[in-house]
Structures are given as C-alpha cells and as structure tokens.
Amino acid sequence: MSAATVPITRRTLLKTAGAALVIGFEVPVKLKAKAEPEKPVLNPLSAWIKIDQGGTVTLAYSKSEMGQGVSTSLPMILADELGVDWKSVRVEHAPTDPAYGDQGTGGSGSIAAMFTPLRQAGAAAREMLITAAAQRWNVSAAECAARHGAVWHETDKLTYGELVESASRLPVPDLKTVRLKKPEEFELIGKGVPRTDVPAKVDGSATFGLDVRVPGMVYAVVARCPVFGGKVKSFDASKARALKGVLDAFQIEPDQGVHSCGGIAVVAESTYLAMQARKLLHIDWDYGAGADESSETLRRQFRKLVDSSMKVVLDQGNVETALSRAPAEKRVECDYELPFQAHATMEPMNCTVHVQGDRAEAWVPTQSPEWALRAISQATGLPAQKIKVHTTYMGGGFGRRYQADFALEAAQVAKKISRPVQLVWSREDDMGHDFYRPASYHRISGAVDTEGNITAWRHKSTSTSIAVFWGDKAPPESSELGCTLQMPYLAKSYRLEYLPADSAVPRAWWRSVEASVIGFVMESYVDELAHAAGVDPYTFRIRVLGEPRMVKNPSDKDAIPLDTARFKAVLQLAAEKSGWGSALPSGRGRGIAAHYSFNSYVSNVAEVAVENGHVRVKRIVSAVDIGTPVNPDGIRAQVESAIIYGLTAALKSQITIERGRAVQNNFNQFTTLSMKETPQIEVHIVPGTAAPTGIGEPGLPPTAPALTNAIFAATGKRIRRLPLQAGDLA
C-alpha cells in the first residue's frame, strides 16, 4: 500500500494537528535535551521571520488561507511577541515542509494548535535580537528592551534590521522557558488588525488555484462516471482528439486511497476547448452497485434501522423504565432528518502540476498540502523530496479541500503530458462528485417530570457514516455522534443508539462535520422538552444545565471536557443581547440554541417573521466563547460566515440522490441564501482568558435549531426535517 492510499481520517488528522510544533534551524542543529529524543530545530529568524535592512518584517504562516483569516491571525501572534509594528509586517505562506509541523488546516484548529508555538518562536526571536544588541553594546541583555522593531538600552537604539544578521547566528533560546508576554502586555492579540489578504482580493491580483499560470501550461478536464462508484467500461475519444487544440485524451484510474473517481481525461490548449472536447467523448460506463440508490431508498433504510434494535453506544440510568413511567403528556418522541449537503466552494476543485523528468512542481488550493504531496508522489512515482507543493489561495474550503482526489488526478494527467497541466473541475463536476455531509435520521424519545427535570432522553440515529466510507478502524458511530457524547443537560436517564446505513454516496467533512447535524437535533429536542414542561426554552436550558460541571467524552479520553458554566454563559449573553423575553409583534418569534464543538461554545438567538407561509430571518445574535480572542473582527467574520452557511443548509440547499447520482449539479438547483434573505447578524465575544480555540466552524451548529425554534415560537409549527420545504409553514 503506497503512502497516499493509507486511509487518513479526520480523527487521526486532528490528533496529529494537536502535536507540538517543531521549531528549528534551517540548517538543523541538535537540541541538547537529554531525556527526550533529539529534534531538528528551525531558526525562527529564518523559518518564521525575515527582516530586511529597511525594517520590513516578513512573517510566514504555515496553515492554508481559505478565507478564514489565518494569513492575518497567525502572523499577528508572531508579531506581538516579536515586538514589531504591524505596518512593517508582510506575510507569506510557509513552504510545504514537515519542519513547520502539521500544515493541515481544518477542525477549526489553526489558532488552537499554533498559538503557543508561534508565541514561543516570536519570543525566541525577540530574545535573540536583544542578545545581539547587548553584545554590540557590551551591556547585559537584562538592561535592554525590545519594542517597535528595535532594541533599546537607555537612549541607545538598534533596529531589528541592523541586528538580524548577528542575531540569527545566535543559539535559539529554550522554547519551553523563553519569556512570553503577559496577556496585559499584548499589543495586537485581542485588539485586532486589518486582514492581510484583503487588498489583493479587491483588485483581482490574489492568485487562487485556478489563477496559476505557468509558461507552456495546458488545461485538462476529466469525464467521471455520474453514478457514485461507477467505472469506465470502454470509451472512444477519437472525436474529442480530432478537435483543433486538443492534445490528448486518455483514461485515468480511480484510487481507493483518496477516493478519486478515475475516468477519461481530456487535455487541450484552453479550459473551454477541454470542456468542449469532453462533450465529444463516447463512454460506456459500468455503473456498479450504487446505480439504484436514491434519497427515497435511503430514507426507507433509515426508518427501518431506527425502528429496529440498534447498537447501544452510551447508556446511563434506565431509560426504558423512565419512559414507561412518564405520563403521556410529558413524553415527547420526534424524528429528525437531515440531507446530504455539498460544500459548493465558489472556486471549483483544481490543481496545477508540472512533471519535469525526475522532479515535479505543483500549485494546489489545498487544506492539506502534505496529503496533496503524498497523492502527487503516488501518482507520479516521484519521491516526496523531489516534489515542490505551493499552497495557493483558495476560493473556499469548508472541508472539501482537505481531500486529495483532485491533486492525484492532476498528477495522473501531468505524468502523461510533458507540460504543465491545470486540471479544472467544472461546477457540475464539483457538485456531482463532492464528499458530502452525511445524510442522517434521528429518533429521540424522552420525558420531563412535573418539576421540569429531564427524566429520559433516548437518541437513536443512523447515517451514512464517514468512518465507514473511509474504512476507519474506529467504529462507524465515531464520526457521527459529536456532542451527544458530552451531553450538557442533566438527564436522569440517557441512552445513545446507532447503526450505520449502506450508501455509495461519498461523504466526508463538511463545515462543522457531525456538529452540523447533532447541534440541530439536540437543540431542537431540548426545545421540545421545554415546551412539554411548559417552561420558557431559555429558562429551561439554564435549569437543566444544573450546577457547573465538566462533562467528559466517555469514548475519547483525549477530548477536552465540556464546561457547563461556559455553555451557560454564552446562552446568557445571547439571551441578554437579543432582548430575550421582550415582546414581539404577531407573526414573529425568537428561538435560542447553543452548542459545543471544536472546544468552542456558541449560542445563537434567531428572530423570524412568518407571513403567508414564508419565513424571513430578521436578526441573529450570537455569543461565542473561544477562550482568548486573537483577531476580534476576524472572529466576527467567521461567525457571520458560519451562520449564513448554516442558514443556507437549513432554508435552501440540499443534495438529493436519484439513480445513484446527485440531482443538483449547479447553483440554479443548489440554491444559497441571497443578500435580501440575509439577516442582520450581531456577534458578541466573551472576553475569555483560557487557551484559544477555533471559530471557523462552531458558529454553524446552533444556527439551524435557533431558526426552527424561532419558527415554532412564531407559528407553533415544528420543523424536524431540513431543509425547510415549501408548504412546511402553509
């Protein structure tokens, strides 16, 4: 099994993402640690920080910029410890190099993983510059101070530009003991700076993957089997090859490791020609076992599974007894249903590869440059050291660009064509061959007592498991249950049951992954219990959160416990800022929801107006606790983004399946929230001091339930199946 075919799961990726970053010298030297194994070290003054004589400071960021703002927030952390003015800072993407640690960008993990290592690197560089100045002046380093890009001793001053050459030759201080700023000394962290990538994104100069232009470059598209899992039986490319400007057409093989489809590649002198030539291919497909699958067959399977006895994943108290003892009016049983969702990044998948004899160069809009590199290495047969991967800007990621299928395909084509090749996916390719957010079905039975306590909560669910699709060694439910394993609300009995459903539809990590499903289900159901108890939904949540406690994940000892005090605090802040409880005109309603995902806490309150069966979201107030905030406006932007992404999935978009293929293949069918449907969004950030956590995803899970709870408050109609269908509110 070659490297790229080793199944990579988000579970393993996230575990490695948490590993400590190795900081070291460009020319590796050995740390003098005795007990620990020796690690190569990067010199922060060459790997992370470059300072020119004029004082311009270039800071590297090692995570992919897909719009979430890491090309600003990560360099901010370095710059703060380094002690330079932000206006002197330029940023650049770090090379793809294991020395920078895990460069995979996902799981809302960049700030969480990099906060301390970047502070240590910035502080180490600052101390080296101070030492260089002290040596120059022949004074003690303790008498010197660094600020605004210079080292000072009394009234003497040496700029970093004057010091960098000698400083970079000094030994790197021990990163574990280097002095870090106290939070009150921060000059950038928590205060914020404008985004570094904005200027290039208002004049067309930002280079996305599709904008890469290499001299002599040609373009390729691939015809893939429309049915998931299908293969080429035979093909005739003679008409395509005959078109002027077409260089070649040939078969490429599918790959089980990256789950690429294989198909017929067409290479031409322009994107348009390649797309036109593809239409001239005659391909006889073997549709395979998935050809009869549809959303309806899947739904029947889901229902049969939840009607059956399922695997018990978690069992606390006696849920059967509690349910049987509860009076009928205090018992609530509901089914919830969520569809497949496409990522629909604005920039479709693409990758540019140039194979030049014994080496290759690639330009990849990827969230995982390491995985792209392994895929290119596998497809070309070249060793990884002979492949240079450039990570470009990307027109959206949302998890789709963690995959390496498009990089592997590009390398397969480039290996055959001795010119640089840009592989382009059309929008139809992109939407029809995504790795979708799983479809799922849930049945929750529970009850409250006369005092408004939850006496029973039994959640049976089934889905097209991500773990099953990727052949993960972990059980099928490991990718599907999310925060149900860290139940914040007190329930006297609680049981989780699960079985996976069979499906050929590819699925993987869509923005907030299983939390996008679990957040909706849990926060819808707790709302239903509040109404069964006759208690205001906000008050009910606060009550059933009980006394502050830490909730561990029984199936993952490495998971960070959920702190119910922080969970409660975001609910309180969102309620306060939204004017929870104040009167609304007729036809309007407010809904609240909160969720814990990626170690962050978010509560959203939605306000809706429902008129003639049509819902309009007027306002969403969000409260977030992500520990120490780094770039507040960037945090607000990510929450706005996640809320709109979540509203689109709740109100507009879905992928349905017919005859084994995706029905929706472009934006005319997969519709998104438009500006006139976009509510006013307010984001409030808890001024936390705990270690920072991520915010690319956690704003999404409490969005759909806040919306549907608000619809219920406005109309008395409970939405349990997403997205909202025409007629649901009629």
Partner 1 sequence: MSISFEVNGEKKSVDVDPKTPLLWVLRDTLNLTGTKYGCGIAACGACTVHIDGEPARSCAYPVASVQGKRITTIEGLSTDRSHPVQRAWIAEQVPQCGYCQSGQIMTAIAFLKKNPKPTAADVDEAMSNNICRCGTAQRIRAAVLRAAASASGGEL
From 17, 448, 643, 685, residue interacting with partner 1 (rule: CB under 8 A)? 643
Q: From the CB of 232, what's the least distance to partner 1, in Å?
A: 24
What are the residues whose beta carbons fall under 8 Å from the beta carbon of 601, sequence distance 6 or more? Answer: 563, 566, 567, 569, 570, 594, 595, 624, 625, 626, 686, 698
* Distance from C-alpha of 658 to C-alpha of 340, rounded to nearest angstrom: 13
Pick out residues in 258-317 that bind partner 1 (CB under 8 A).
270-273, 276
- The mark string for 595-634 relative to partner 1 (x by CB under 8 A, - otherwise) is --------------------------------------x-
Residue number with CB closer to partner 1 (173 or 629): 629
Cβ atoms < 10 Å from Cβ of 658: 12
Question: Amino acid identity, residue 624?
Answer: V
Sheet with 57-61, strands from edge to edge, namely 49-51, 57-61, 89-93
Q: Give the E-state strand segments of 450-527 in sequence order.
A: 454-463, 494-500
Distances (CA, A) of 210 to 106, 193, 393, 435: 21, 29, 10, 20
Site for partner 1 contains 345 (CB under 8 A): yes
From 51, 454, 681, 711, residue interacting with partner 1 (rule: CB under 8 A)? 681
Residue number with CB closer to partner 1 (40 or 632): 632
User: SS3 of 629, please?
Assistant: coil
* Distance from C-alpha of 91 to C-alpha of 393, rounded to nearest angstrom: 13
529-546 residues labelled b (16+ CB within 10 A) or e (exposed): bbbbbebbbbebbbbbbe
Residue number with CB closer to partner 1 (238 or 272): 272
Site for partner 1 contains 427 (CB under 8 A): yes
Q: From the CB of 706, what's the least distance to partner 1, in Å?
A: 16
354-392 residues labelled b (16+ CB within 10 A) or e (exposed): bbeeeebbbbbbbbbbbbbbbbbbbbbebeeeebebbbb
What are the residues whose beta carbons fall under 8 Å from the beta carbon of 42, sequence distance 6 or more? Answer: 22, 23, 24, 25, 26, 48, 99, 100
Site for partner 1 contains 640 (CB under 8 A): yes
Residue number with CB closer to partner 1 (146 or 273): 273
Cβ atoms of 705 and 593 closer than 8 Å: yes
Q: From the CB of 619, what's the least distance to partner 1, in Å?
A: 11
Q: From the CB of 277, what's the least distance to partner 1, in Å?
A: 12
- Beta-strand relationship, 657-658 and 57-61: unpaired
Residue number with CB closer to partner 1 (101 or 190): 190
Site for partner 1 contains 67 (CB under 8 A): yes
* Distance from C-alpha of 438 to C-alpha of 479, rounded to nearest angstrom: 10
Distances (CA, A) of 530 to 325, 538, 675: 19, 8, 33
Residue number with CB closer to partner 1 (307 or 611): 611
Q: From the CB of 598, what's the least distance to partner 1, in Å?
A: 18
Query: Shortest CA distance to 1 belongs to which of 230, 253, 256?
Result: 256
Residue number with CB closer to partner 1 (270 or 418): 270
From 54, 674, 726, 730, residue interacting with partner 1 (rule: CB under 8 A)? 674
From 668, 687, 716, 730, residue interacting with partner 1 (rule: CB under 8 A)? 668
Q: From the CB of 678, what's the least distance to partner 1, in Å?
A: 4
Residue number with CB closer to partner 1 (478 or 641): 641
Q: From the CB of 677, what's the least distance to partner 1, in Å?
A: 8
* Distance from C-alpha of 280 to C-alpha of 242, rounded to nearest angstrom: 10
Q: From the CB of 468, what's the least distance to partner 1, in Å?
A: 28
From 56, 135, 294, 678, residue interacting with partner 1 (rule: CB under 8 A)? 678
**DSSP-assigned states of every residue in 256-304:** TTTTB--EEEEEESSHHHHHHHHTT-EEEEE-GGGGG--HHHHHHHHHH
From 257, 263, 339, 348, residue interacting with partner 1 (rule: CB under 8 A)? 348
* Distance from C-alpha of 153 to C-alpha of 316, rounded to nearest angstrom: 64
Query: Shortest CA distance to 603 belongs to which of 651, 562, 549, 639?
Result: 639
* Distance from C-alpha of 9 to C-alpha of 723, rounded to nearest angstrom: 28
Q: From the CB of 91, what's the least distance to partner 1, in Å?
A: 15
Element (H, E) at 637: helix 632-651
Pick out residues in 359-398 that bind partner 1 (CB under 8 A).
393-398
Pick out residues in 496-535 that bind partner 1 (CB under 8 A).
none
User: Total residues at the site for partner 1 (CB under 8 A)?
Assistant: 62
Here the tokens at position 716 are 């008395």
Q: From the CB of 615, what's the least distance to partner 1, in Å?
A: 17
Pick out residues in 166-225 that bind partner 1 (CB under 8 A).
194-195, 197-208, 210-211, 213, 219
Q: From the CB of 365, what's the least distance to partner 1, in Å?
A: 10
Residue number with CB closer to partner 1 (198 or 312): 198
Residue number with CB closer to partner 1 (14 or 66): 66
- The mark string for 395-414 relative to partner 1 (x by CB under 8 A, - otherwise) is xxxx----------------
Pick out residues in 428-467 that bind partner 1 (CB under 8 A).
428
Instruction: Tell whether omega for the bond before 723 is within 30 degrees of 0, i.e. cis.
Output: yes
Which class for 106: exposed (0-12), middle (13-18), buried (19 or more C-beta within 10 A)? buried
Site stretch for partner 1 (CB under 8 A), options 88-96, 309-317, 345-353, 376-384? 345-353
Q: How many CA atoms lie within 13 A of 28 on its CB side?
A: 8
- Give the single-character DSSP code of 34: S
- The mark string for 532-571 relative to partner 1 (x by CB under 8 A, - otherwise) is ----------------------------------------
Q: From the CB of 408, what's the least distance to partner 1, in Å?
A: 22
Q: From the CB of 475, what's the least distance to partner 1, in Å?
A: 33
From 138, 676, 727, 730, residue interacting with partner 1 (rule: CB under 8 A)? 676
- Beta-strand relationship, 387-391 and 359-364: parallel
From 80, 162, 293, 347, residue interacting with partner 1 (rule: CB under 8 A)? 347
Which class for 715: exposed (0-12), middle (13-18), buried (19 or more C-beta within 10 A)? middle
Pick out residues in 76-115 that bind partner 1 (CB under 8 A).
none
Q: From the CB of 119, what's the least distance to partner 1, in Å?
A: 25
From 66, 74, 379, 505, residue interacting with partner 1 (rule: CB under 8 A)? 66
Q: From the CB of 409, what's the least distance to partner 1, in Å?
A: 18
Q: From the CB of 343, what's the least distance to partner 1, in Å?
A: 8
Distances (CA, A) of 38 to 33, 103, 150, 388, 476: 7, 22, 33, 27, 38
Site stretch for partner 1 (CB under 8 A), options 20-28, 108-116, 317-325, 661-669? 661-669
Within 160-207, residue ranges assigned H as helices are: 160-167
Site residues (CB under 8 A) for partner 1?
66-69, 194-195, 197-208, 210-211, 213, 219, 270-273, 276, 344-348, 393-398, 424, 426-428, 633, 637, 640-645, 666-668, 672-678, 680-681
